[in-house]
Amino acid sequence: MVEFFEQHFNFWIYVILMMIGLWAVIAKNNLIKKLIGLSIFQTAIILFYVSLGVKENSTIPILDHHAPAAEVSADPHHNDEPSETGNHGELHPKAGHENDHHADAHVGAHAVEPDTMANPLPHVLMLTAIVVGVATLGVALALAQLIYKEFGTLEENEVLEIIKGGEAND
Amino acid sequence: MLSKVFATIAVVITGGLLLYGVMDFPAFGDPHSPPNAGVKGGGESISQYFITQTYRDTKVPNIVTAVLADYRGYDTMFETVVIFAAGMAIFAILRVVGDNNDPTKKELSSDDALSQKGDHNRIIIGTTCRIIIPIVQLFGLYVVAHGHHSPGGGFQGGVLLGSSFILLALSQNLNAALRRFSEKNYFTLAATGILIYAGFGVACQILEKNFLDYGVLQKVLFTDGPEMARSHSMLGVEVGVAFTVTAIMFSIYANLSSRGTLKDGL
Amino acid sequence: MTDQLPAIIVLTPMFGAILVSLLGNRDHRICFPIVLVSLLISLGASFGAAQEVFSTGAINYFMGGWEKPLGIGIQLRIDALNALVLLVIGSVSILTAFFSIRRIGEKNTEKTPQFYVLYLLLCSGLFGITIAADAFNLFVLIEVSSLTSYGLVAMGSSRRGTHAAFNYVIMGTVGASFYLIGVGYLYMKTGTLNMMDIRSILQSNVDIANSNAVTIAFLFILVGIWIKMAFFPLNGWLPNAYSYCPSSSACILAPLMTKVSVYVMLRVMISVFGLEWIFSHAQWSELVVWLAVIAILAGSIFALAQREIKKMLCYLIVAEVGYMVGGAWLADAEWWGLTGTIYHIIADAAMTLCLFLAAGIFVRRFNAVEISDLEGLFKKAPWTSVGFVIGGLAMIGVPPTCGFYSKFYLIRGGIDAGHWQFVAALLISSLVNAVLFFRIFEIAHFGNKPAEGHDHSHDANADEAPARQEAPLNALIPLLVSAAAILLIGLFNGQIVELIRVALEDFSTLALNLR
């Protein structure tokens, strides 16, 4: 049971966050608070996915062009250099320019151990999911504004009462 | 009260089921978990392919951008469509159309925002933002263009560009921003962005390959190999994405802050 | 060219939407031709694809040309199952497009271009959902169609519509998020997102297939899709959303959204997890069939209690969804239940389209929102009545309408599987529908209180020929076409079921070894 918690503590945290969000969506009365809950729920899912791709001692999935020429064995120092600082001088390794494609293939294949880089696929998926979440939030907020304009209140129970009152008058 | 009880029960059950599913997950950070290293019965691991072969296929060092714009470009295109649809939906829901279509011609002349009475704070904010906004835009353009080498790309740069306009609207007033980026313009820009993205794809189809198969564009882009064609096309589609995101971010702000009238913002 | 058909089907409406948004604001009259042309191209391409699929075999299409290794690119796949659904989507969208034409000057026409943009993007999303073969791509397309449908529902000017749309947004997003969680769990155990790949991994690795995570993944994907298809008791959003939205939106959303969600459930069951794995847990089948029975009864009873026409039709949709879910989970030996469900997707789309078109005409022409407003309808608008009556008879299940045949196959499956409660629920629901519709037919024919019919003779020409207020042609023709489709789908049920059985054969390594 302890390893269940210890090795998967990230999943525990994200599931708890998701449930906080979901609780707010169902239980809260105010429409904006429901939306906040929805946001929390979606964000927790995004964090969950990103944590699927984590590897121990890995760096971000951006290739560093300081990678030395093909034949040298996987260079340990290239694990520690943060790849986002842009030292992009050495685009072509020392193998010579006439073998461009060939040499670059070596840059790709030899200098990169898959275990040194985080899994890029969840990042890609979550970029999409974030955008989708923003779009949905925008539409929901527009609807909330419209509800306020028409009903004068943002509390769900009051809105339902006004609707029922309106129906009784029909 | 009843809804809170019901919510608690529902949440406990759902959370319990989710954690039950987590029980046989690989440990956090395991480099040999199925997403990271594949599974015996399946094919080659996708993520390992991405990490090792992306540079060879596309000459783009940022693997995430390469996967986003090339391997999974179809998803990204529909993501852009989602943003566009959201902008359209907010317009359709909220916008009050009628005879107030040209807010910029109202008496509240925007440039005098700085000289409104009693609003001395606005001078500081207004002037500071006037200096910052071009820098933000420049940075936004940098983020779009540099997406191949550093974290960045169309969405991130587009949001920065859109927020520069929002900053203008916040620091002065909405009319100032709308004068520079009117409603007609931003919807046209948004549609153009998607047209650029889909245009790249259709160009590939015209050249007898599948949609978004950029390698075949080497004939049109005059590169000496499909890899550089992919790299350049990725930049092209990212620009398209940035256009759409910029326009729609600002349009969402404009509609939401003015409650659909586009007259006075926040 | 035929190998580009999948891309053409999905992308043409999207291009149409861009064109409408660029050109529509200048002149609203250009919107409808663009809509029509793009949907016709998609429908034509769907026909082409269906022909190819039924003669040669499934069409696989890899976006970006990334075919090997499987899963790095996004795959689209048209096989026998979704070829039929594509045709349904294409036809329904064209008919509703005709219905939605408004003359300039009618209220709420300023946002016509935006309506058509959202309409075309919805169609593009639905086509995309149907042919997606990648689990995450399916999520993105579900969101495309959901977002556009939120916009379409909220566009009306009714107060209750706004609140209904808000609830729809929240429930729809929660549903899509559940689906996403499920896909995440599946990805964690299999390492791939391609549906075919997931299936082969689950088939070859028994320990993965039996793990908790995969079971939970299936559960969450299923619940997410159930929210989307308004399976009782997750249907809270549907009655209000479809009753208070503009008629044109209701006519495109009601027939399609729930049916495409049912198709997604079938696709996940058949192509991702595989029917053997699902039905090896036999108790699930029992449970879901009971849930379906409850859904059918609840939908029918609530429908009986409604006074408003559209609300009543919405609860009938809930009951129909119950038929389809129950049919899919019957697990009878020869898969008649599953056949019935797939046939019912096609049949129910036609029936719902016909009834909602009629309801839309009632609202627009006669301002008739409640059932009691329909008095004397048969005399005032005979052709509209013909369409409405055919739709009603199909719901009841009278031969030769398609409703009879879908019930027939479902009942056959229920008897084979021994789920007598399902058979009973189907029969009870037919009875309830008969009560409902004959009550409406009576009001429409005789008027509410026949005795007072004589009072109308104060008007000179009341008794003999009440003012003919036939529906406008652009609304009447889609109604009659859909009514004709109901009859044709019923008459040709043999051929259609043939095609469906062909589709199921591809997936049945299963079938007969299961019992």
Note whether C311 and C369 are within 8 A (CB): no
Q: What is the DSSP letter of C59?
A: E
Distances (CA, A) of A164 to B83, C159, C244, C367: 35, 12, 15, 21
Nearby residues of B17 by Cβ (< 8 Å), 6 or more positions away:
C216, C219, C220
Q: CB burial class (10 A; 0-12, 13-18, 19+) of residue C68? A: exposed
Looking at residue C169, its pLDDT comes to 95
Residue-wise pLDDT for C301-323, tens only, equals 999 998 888 999 999 999 999 99
Element containing residue C114 per DSSP (H, E):
helix C112-131
Taking the C-alpha atoms of residue C174 and residue C172, their distance in angstroms, rounded to an integer, is: 5
3-state DSSP assignment of residue C74: strand
* pLDDT confidence tier of residue C120, bands split at 50, 70 and 90: very high
Could you tell me the pTM of the whole model?
A: 0.90
Q: What is the CA radius of gyration of chain C?
A: 23
CB atoms B89 and C62 under 8 Å: no
3-state DSSP assignment of residue C308: strand
**Does C143 touch chain B if contact means CB atoms closer than 8 Å?**
yes
* pLDDT confidence tier of residue A169, bands split at 50, 70 and 90: low
- Provide the ipTM: 0.90
What dihedral angle (degrees, nearest 10) is formed by the CA atoms of C509, C510, C511, C513? 100
Nearby residues of A128 by Cβ (< 8 Å), 6 or more positions away:
B75, B76, B79, C136, C140
* pLDDT confidence tier of residue A103, bands split at 50, 70 and 90: very low
**Does B187 touch chain C if contact means CB atoms closer than 8 Å?**
yes
Q: What is the DSSP letter of C399?
A: T
Optimal mutation site among A15, A136, A149, A151, interface C, most CBs of chain C within 10 A: A136
CB atoms A136 and C177 under 8 Å: no
Nearby residues of B226 by Cβ (< 8 Å), 6 or more positions away:
B214, B215, B216, B218
Note whether A22 and C158 are within 8 A (CB): no
Nearby residues of C138 by Cβ (< 8 Å), 6 or more positions away:
C129, C132, C264
Element containing residue A43 per DSSP (H, E):
helix A31-52
Nearby residues of C326 by Cβ (< 8 Å), 6 or more positions away:
C288, C289, C292, C293, C295, C296, C337, C410, C414, C419, C422, C425
Looking at residue B197, its pLDDT comes to 93
Looking at the DSSP bridge assignments, the partners of residue C78 are C59
The closest CB to that of C177, out of A35, A45, A143, belongs to A45
Looking at residue C429, its pLDDT comes to 92
Minimal CA separation from B204 to chain A, in Å: 23
* Chain C positions touching chain A (beta carbons under 8 Å): 136, 139-140, 143, 147, 150-151, 154, 159-160, 162-163, 165-166, 169-170, 173-174, 177, 180-181, 184, 187-188, 193
* pLDDT confidence tier of residue B113, bands split at 50, 70 and 90: very low
- Comparing B107-111, C84-88, C412-416, the range with the smallest average pLDDT is B107-111
Element containing residue C443 per DSSP (H, E):
helix C420-446
Does residue C477 surpass a pLDDT of 60? yes
Element containing residue C76 per DSSP (H, E):
strand C74-78
Residue-wise pLDDT for A14-27, tens only, equals 999 999 999 999 99
* pLDDT confidence tier of residue C452, bands split at 50, 70 and 90: very low
Query: Which residues of chain C are within 8 Å of residue B193 when distances are taken between CB atoms?
Result: none
Per the listing, tokens 């159930």 go with: C226
- Please tell me whether the peptide bond between C246 and the residue prior to it is cis, using omega within 30 degrees of 0: no
Average of per-residue pLDDT values in chain B: 85
- In the stretch 206-245 of chain B, residues with CB closer than 8 A to chain C read 209-215
Q: What is the DSSP letter of A59?
A: B
Does residue A70 surpass a pLDDT of 60? no
